[in-house]
Structure 1
């Protein structure tokens, strides 16, 4: 339980401050535990980032799938609606995973965590749409929204929803 609380607080700290800015001392303060306790669970700043990304990943998947409709088209549209709310509430500056890779491009643990997250989101689109052949296209729309959000906001979501709907209806 304590590790989950620390991880949730680390996720929030990285979300608010980015990855380059917070020092381990600041992360200790944000996590609300002693430095010894923090290092017990996360022996390096990079391990803290991986833990925070893993926590955010699960939160995001759970968030996307909340009250998902059964129709494949409605399900995909719903996922984009959830993405819009996620961006508004938790990621107004863009995707935290992509920011992590940008901050630590040589770190294999961070890169692997982001790759796993992105792959699972892609698989989720395949599952929810019932169209494994369109998983990559739907995933790219998702990633486009995440990247364009700081500039386009909900216009990116609306465009992605329209494109996804057309794609799913035309290529049946």
Structure 2
């Protein structure tokens, strides 16, 4: 239980402070634990980043599923409505996973963690839409929103929703 609480606090700290800025002392303070306890569960800053990313991954997928209708067009539209809420409330500076890769481009485990997250989101979109053949296209629209959000905000989401509607109604 404590390990998950630390991971949740790390997620929040990295989301707010970025990856390059916070020192381990700042992360320890954000988690409300001793340095010994923090290092017991996560022996390096990179391990702390991976824990934060994995925690956020689960939280994100659960968030998208919250009050979701049955799979199909409505469920896909629901995902993009939830994406708007996520960006407003939890990711105003863009995708935390992509920010992690930007901060640690050569770190293999961080990159693998982000790639696994992105693949899960791609598959999730295919299942929610009942169009696994369009999973990659839907994923690219999803990623476009999270990348463009800091610049375009709601305009990115509105364009994405129109694109999704056209994409799913074409076939």
TM-score (norm. length: structure 1): 0.98
- Residue 51 of structure 1: CA displacement? 0.1
- Residue 132 of structure 1: CA displacement? 1.0
Alignment partner, residue 159 of structure 1: 159
Alignment partner, residue 98 of structure 1: 98
Alignment partner, residue 131 of structure 1: 131
- Residue 71 of structure 1: CA displacement? 5.0
Structure 2 CA distance for aligned equivalents of residues 57 and 40 of structure 1: 23
Alignment partner, residue 55 of structure 1: 55
Contact 2:71/2:130 (CA < 8 Å) preserved in 1? no
Distance 1:30 1:3, change over 3 A: same
Structure 1 CA distance for aligned equivalents of residues 108 and 71 of structure 2: 38
Alignment partner, residue 12 of structure 2: 12
The runs of 5 or more residues in structure 2 that have no matched partner are: none
Structure 1 CA distance for aligned equivalents of residues 170 and 97 of structure 2: 32
Alignment partner, residue 122 of structure 1: 122
Alpha-carbon RMSD across the aligned residues, in angstroms, is 0.7
TM-score (norm. length: structure 2): 0.99
The runs of 5 or more residues in structure 1 that have no matched partner are: none
Structure 2 CA distance for aligned equivalents of residues 68 and 155 of structure 1: 23
Alignment partner, residue 110 of structure 1: 110
Q: Which runs of 4+ in 1 moved over 6 A?
A: none
Alignment partner, residue 77 of structure 1: 77
DSSP-derived class of the 1:94 partner? coil
- Residue 144 of structure 1: CA displacement? 0.1
Per-residue Cα deviation, 1:100-125 (whole angstroms, up to 9, x for no partner): 00000010110010000000000001
Contact 2:19/2:100 (CA < 8 Å) preserved in 1? yes
Structure 1 CA distance for aligned equivalents of residues 28 and 84 of structure 2: 31
Per-residue Cα deviation, 1:7-65 (whole angstroms, up to 9, x for no partner): 11100100000000001111111111001000000000000000000000000000001
Structure 2 CA distance for aligned equivalents of residues 167 and 8 of structure 1: 36
